[in-house]
Amino acid sequence: MMRRDDDAIISLVSRTVSPFIMIFALYVIFHGHYSPGGGFQGGTMLAAALILVRLAAGSDLAQLQFPRSWGTPLGSAGVLIYWGTGFVSMLCGGNFLNYAFLPVSGPPPHHRNLGILFIEVGVGLAVMGILTAIYDDLLEGRPHD
């Protein structure tokens, strides 16, 4: 952000909390079938954890954790996972996004369950990558340099 004073407490707390937010975010993504939550919430929390470190340690130091150039590619990959799940079911004879045609074993409800999991992961990746990228872009070209 602007000028930053290195505060030991802020740095310590944010670095300690950030991994726990990430773990909880992963839980939210993968447990979305059974409880409130899902890809979008989890992805936003992952982005929040990354942004927290960026806020506390400064954008330059946080590059070690999550480089600036990863945001957009990861986000694109997330959308591609979503689209790919739909497209594979299209190639296997169903309509677009018809998970019952996914080439996995088991009865159709199981296919759909798995399909939902795939796209939740895609959504999570996409949201995490792109929100972080937006944050980085907003900070690009700081006034003082």
For another protein, the binding residues (CB under 8 A) are: 1-2, 32-38, 40-41, 44-45, 47-48, 51, 55, 71-73, 75-76, 78-80, 82-83, 86-87, 90-91, 94-100, 109-110, 112-113, 115-116, 119-120, 122-123, 126-127, 129-131, 133-135, 137-141, 143
Query: Nearest to residue 47, comparing CAs of 133, 116, 119, 120?
Result: 133
Query: Nearest to residue 86, comparing CAs of 106, 109, 115, 110?
Result: 115
Q: Which is nearer to another protein, 12 or 69 (CB)?
A: 69
Q: Computed over its alpha carbons, how large is the radius of gyration of the chain? A: 18
- Minimum Å gap between C-beta 16 and another protein is 18
Q: Which is nearer to another protein, 103 or 143 (CB)?
A: 143
- Minimum Å gap between C-beta 85 and another protein is 9
- Minimum Å gap between C-beta 45 and another protein is 6
Q: Which is nearer to another protein, 11 or 77 (CB)?
A: 77
**Distinct helix (H) and strand (E) counts, the chain:** 5, 0
Q: Which is nearer to another protein, 62 or 123 (CB)?
A: 123
Q: Which is nearer to another protein, 10 or 80 (CB)?
A: 80
Cβ-Cβ contacts under 8 Å for 23 (sequence gap 6 or more)? none
- Minimum Å gap between C-beta 24 and another protein is 11
Q: How far apart, in whole angstroms, are the C-alpha atoms of residue 30 and residue 38?
A: 7
Determine the Cα angle at 37 with ends 31 and 55, to 5°: 110
Cβ-Cβ contacts under 8 Å for 94 (sequence gap 6 or more)? 100, 101
